[in-house]
Amino acid sequence: MTATRPAAAAAALLAHSRRAAAASARPQIALWRATGARWLSSEAHPDRPAVHLPLGDADVFARLDGRAVVRIDGPDSVPFLQGMVTNQMTLVERGGAGILAAFLNAQGRILFDAFIFPENKGSEFPHPSFLIDCDVMVAELLETHLKRYKLRRKIAISNASDSLAVWQAWGRSSDLLWGSYVSRDCARHVPIGGIVPKESFCDVGCRDPRNKQLGVRFVLDRAAVPKLPTTFERVGADEFTLRRMMLGIPEGAADFFYEHSLPLESNLEFMSGVDFRKGCYLGQELTIRTYHTGVTRKRIVPIQIFKADQALPTQLTLDRGVSFELPESQSDLKPVGAAEKSTRGRGTGAVGKFCSGMNNIGLALVRLEHVHSSSGSQQILGEDAPGAPPGDLVLSNGLHARAFAPAWWPQAPPA
């Protein structure tokens, strides 16, 4: 973690270059090896959100203010969390990059989706200390949940949201951020063959395990601004939400219905959030049984929302000019025309539930026979009437929606 300690000569050089940097009009100039970009000083980051296509590859970053951080600290942290989450704690036991996981209840329903980051620092490293990055709306519930199962475990549970903040950086060079050490600002002044002091841009985080296109997620002191290469531009957290939705990645309490959602229906295993080989954890029974039956009839997918009189969308396209009034999380989605057919007696006729949305796109949990493939309108999955194209859906407020399967989903080889 720590940079190589420079020799005395290099230290003098370092001090010299720092003085020089302070005097210069462009402080903190260093080489960003992969991109050739320069480091940006904190004051140069524009606070105004810039406009980017949500699936473009421009380098951007955002602070995710909708996230809270809960700290679990103490020698029993790993065995305690191992019995509570869907993913394998041995992956983070010895520090390093974080993982995605979910906390379930005894019935196997999701309580919280969360990132678990080892806190890779401190004088006693690797003293077990973990940061749990969760939706701010359910942070208190998470704390209560953890404290209920603490019993005699030697751990301390505390909310660290006042001192820490969660960030996300994505774009074409974001993949190079995590795990690579970059030269400090003096690098240009080191003689050939000299020792170059290096540092990582952040100690706590990971490459987003849910999808490559989501870049890097990391945790910093609340007062800090990420030291990223100058190619990175700051945007609002909504930009991340849009990108996430277009990829069909659920996150937080609006997408994971507390005590209702199931891990596999919520794509948790597609997002590297479940280890099917680990031993007992809270809620394992149903999860592993579902996995071995090999059948999931519903999944969370991106939807495009449109008015009934608009042309049918053929692929997911964001329209920033639109701001629909969207229904509440967990409200029903029905097939178009279901109102007339509701006498069939199969419950409410709902084939899905709305999760969250923005502009004209959103996420919804939808039965797979009502999902279009991302390339066209032919049916991709589901059991009823193979070959028949899936119809469109109606939200509880009357808006129409079409569900698309994300292109990154594992595909069956062509028959």
Partner 1 sequence: MAAHGNVSRSPRPASCGQRLAEINRREGAARALRVLVDAGGCHGFQYRLELTDRSEEDDVVFERDGSRVVVDAMSLDMIRGSTIDFVDELIGSSFQVVGNPNAESACGCKTSFSIKI
Interaction mask 196-215, partner 1, x per CB under 8 A: --------------------
276 part of the interface to partner 1, by CB under 8 A: no
Name the minimum Å distance from CB 106 to partner 1: 4
224 part of the interface to partner 1, by CB under 8 A: no
Identify the CA nearest to 132 among candidates 216, 73, 177. Answer: 73
227 part of the interface to partner 1, by CB under 8 A: no
Write the DSSP assignment of 281-302 as a string of letters. Answer: -TTHHHHHHHHHHT---EEEEE
Strand partners, 183: 198
192 part of the interface to partner 1, by CB under 8 A: no
- The three-class DSSP label of residue 8 is helix
74 part of the interface to partner 1, by CB under 8 A: no
Interface stretch with partner 1, choices 76-84, 162-170, 226-234, 404-412 (CB under 8 A): 76-84
Between CA 342 and CA 176 the distance in angstroms is 53
Element (H, E) at 335: strand 332-335
Name the minimum Å distance from CB 268 to partner 1: 17
365 and 298 Cβ atoms separated by less than 8 Å: yes
- Whole-angstrom distance between the N-terminal and C-terminal Cα of the chain? 49
77 part of the interface to partner 1, by CB under 8 A: no
152 part of the interface to partner 1, by CB under 8 A: yes
What lies within 8 Å, CB to CB, of 338 at 6+ separation is 349, 351, 394
Interface stretch with partner 1, choices 157-165, 202-210, 275-283, 388-396 (CB under 8 A): 275-283
317 part of the interface to partner 1, by CB under 8 A: no
The nearer residue to partner 1, 108 or 118, going by C-beta atoms, is 108
CB atoms near residue 135 (< 10 Å): 22
Identify the CA nearest to 146 among candidates 162, 128, 130, 161. Answer: 130
Between CA 306 and CA 303 the distance in angstroms is 10
285 part of the interface to partner 1, by CB under 8 A: yes
67 part of the interface to partner 1, by CB under 8 A: no
344 part of the interface to partner 1, by CB under 8 A: no
106 part of the interface to partner 1, by CB under 8 A: yes
166 and 251 Cβ atoms separated by less than 8 Å: no
32 part of the interface to partner 1, by CB under 8 A: no
Question: Of 67, 109, 153, 372, which one interacts with partner 1 (CB under 8 A)?
Answer: 153
CA distances from 84 to 37, 72, 410, 413 (A): 42, 13, 28, 36
10 part of the interface to partner 1, by CB under 8 A: no
283 part of the interface to partner 1, by CB under 8 A: yes
Name the minimum Å distance from CB 93 to partner 1: 17
- The three-class DSSP label of residue 306 is strand
Q: In degrees rounded to 5, what are phi and psi of residue 378?
A: -80, 155
Show the tokens assigned to 314.
């053929």
Question: Of 149, 154, 308, 389, which one interacts with partner 1 (CB under 8 A)?
Answer: 149
- The three-class DSSP label of residue 141 is helix
42 part of the interface to partner 1, by CB under 8 A: no
280 part of the interface to partner 1, by CB under 8 A: yes
156 part of the interface to partner 1, by CB under 8 A: no
The nearer residue to partner 1, 108 or 273, going by C-beta atoms, is 108
Exposure on the CB side of residue 202, measured as CA atoms within 13 A: 30
Q: How many residues bind partner 1 (CB under 8 A)?
A: 17
Between CA 394 and CA 404 the distance in angstroms is 15
Question: Of 32, 115, 167, 281, which one interacts with partner 1 (CB under 8 A)?
Answer: 281
277 part of the interface to partner 1, by CB under 8 A: no
195 part of the interface to partner 1, by CB under 8 A: no
Between CA 176 and CA 340 the distance in angstroms is 54
Give residues in contact with partner 1 (CB under 8 A): 80, 83-84, 105-107, 149-153, 280-285
